Amino acid sequence: MVNIGPYRLATLLALISAAICIYVLVGNFDNGLWFDEVFSLQVTDPANSLGKAHAIQSIDASPFTYYFILRFWRIVFGPDFYTAQFFNIAMFLVATILAWIVWPKNKSQEYLIFLSLNITCVAIIYYLLEIRTYSLICAISLFVASCFNRLLDQTESSGGAGRSKYLYIAIIVSAAIVINLHAWGALFGAGIFIALFIYDRAFANRTFGLPAFVISGVLISAFFFVSFLPIFNVFSSRLTAASIGFGAKIVDDPLTMLTGIWQLLYVTDRSALFGAAVLLTIAYHCAVRFSLIRSSLLVYIAPIVFVYAAVIIAHLIFERFIYKSYFNVIFFPFLFMFFTKIAYSAATGVVRFSLIAALILANVGSIPFFVKFAEQPFRLEIQDGISVYMPAPKQR
């Protein structure tokens, strides 16, 4: 009987996961464009001047950062649809490589499981194909989660004495980029900042001094919360009352958001079944092994809680519940890192393997192997060097 060791098993899972991800990406690569993707292509069209691009983008609530980066990409690699659609995939690949570089080399099994969870997530795969900012934030989120993982490992192995300053720089710079990519990115980036400073109080004290740290934490929170407010005004003028959530009850906000993240993670009944088993197991581990996962809760879950809390507080103050379930995709690398840490805190190898298997099966259960994602209504064609957006042909 062949004895497959833990590392070989993790490698096999990663290879299967990569094959599944590539299969779904290739099968859905040329599947049309949503209107907001058409808008992304119009803003980033290299034929437009930077001033015109900024003028077109001015009606959008999101910052110009994503469009600027994508425009540069299209100038370098070409203006066609395939080049633009590959941008997010390329950035995600870069993030996985950077994550491997910062990962503790004595825990490569964990990296392979973490990677497998991300690349078998149907929501991440879907948004990798969309020419919007969510997947870029998701890629950065994957890298930041890996940097936090290295910090936690250095704390465990050397009591924090050997922590690399470059990890702090990487987290802070990445969070700053996320802040300038999207409305929820502003909140998520602020949550990452705060989690970093609370987790490593010694670093915060050396950098700011304790009173300054407390003040800076409040100011950071206030600044990024206030930066979110103009987006409420823009959205309120462009979206319907139903999509904004006028009149929604504040007490329902947490359930609405948690339901949204669950339904985005686990699309089908079979995946929800495995997901429920995972949730119960994680809840058990959080209860009985809290001391082992306390730091993981802080750095991986607290930033998400910060975003939700900010949205609820804004709803309380401004009576507008700005929430779209697909915004949650930017949190998934943090969630999958937390799940990975839970699995590897298990007391026995059998429990660890069972939890990992349930996590992978829950993801794979949501993937449409034999049908494409929904056909999107527009196509991009280049005619005489000019971008023309045509209605997609009807599926027969």
In the chain, the amino acid numbered 115 is L
Half-sphere exposure of 247 (CA within 13 A, CB side): 4
pLDDT tier for residue 121 given thresholds of 50, 70 and 90: very high
To 5 degrees, how large is the angle CA 117–CA 261–CA 67? Answer: 80
**pLDDT > 90? residue 17:** yes
Instruction: List, for residues 133-160, the tens digit of each pLDDT value.
Output: 999 999 999 999 999 999 888 877 766 5
Rounded Cα distance between 131 and 43, Å, is 12
- If you average pLDDT over each of 59-63, 84-88, 230-234, 256-260, which comes out highest? 84-88
**Beta partners for residue 379, in sequence order:** 390
In the chain, the amino acid numbered 143 is F
Other C-beta atoms closer than 10 Å to the C-beta of 274 total 21
pLDDT score recorded for residue 242: 41
- The overall longest dimension of the chain from CA atoms, in Å, is 67
User: Between residues 206 and 116, which one has the greater pLDDT?
Assistant: 116
Give me the residue spans of the domains in the chain. Answer: 7-368
| Chain mean position to CA 211 | 33
Instruction: List, for residues 34-59, the tens digit of each pLDDT value.
Output: 788 888 888 999 988 888 988 888 77
pLDDT score recorded for residue 331: 95
User: Between residues 210 and 142, which one has the greater pLDDT?
Assistant: 142
Rounded Cα distance between 179 and 321, Å, is 20
State the angle between helix axes of 210-238 and 302-318 in degrees (0 to 180), rounded to the nearest 10. Answer: 60
- Residues 240-256 as b or e (16 or more Cβ within 10 Å = b): eeeebbeebeeeebeee
**pLDDT > 60? residue 208:** no
Rounded Cα distance between 150 and 227, Å, is 31
Rounded Cα distance between 386 and 363, Å, is 41
| Chain mean position to CA 58 | 25
Ramachandran bin of 384, using left for φ above 0, alpha for ψ from -120 to 50, beta for the remaining angles: left
Residue-by-residue DSSP string for 231-269:
HHHHHHHHS-HHHHTTT--GGGHHHHHHHHHHHHH--SH
148 close to 337: Cβ distance less than 8 angstroms: yes
Strands 378-383 and 386-391: antiparallel
pLDDT score recorded for residue 57: 83
To 5 degrees, how large is the angle CA 286–CA 292–CA 295? Answer: 90
43 φ, ψ (degrees, to nearest 5): -65, -40
In the chain, the amino acid numbered 224 is F
Rounded Cα distance between 66 and 82, Å, is 17
State the angle between helix axes of 6-27 and 108-119 in degrees (0 to 180), rounded to the nearest 10. Answer: 20
Task: Give, for 381, the enclosing helix (H) or strand (E).
Answer: strand 378-383
User: Between residues 22 and 370, which one has the greater pLDDT?
Assistant: 22
Rounded Cα distance between 345 and 339, Å, is 10
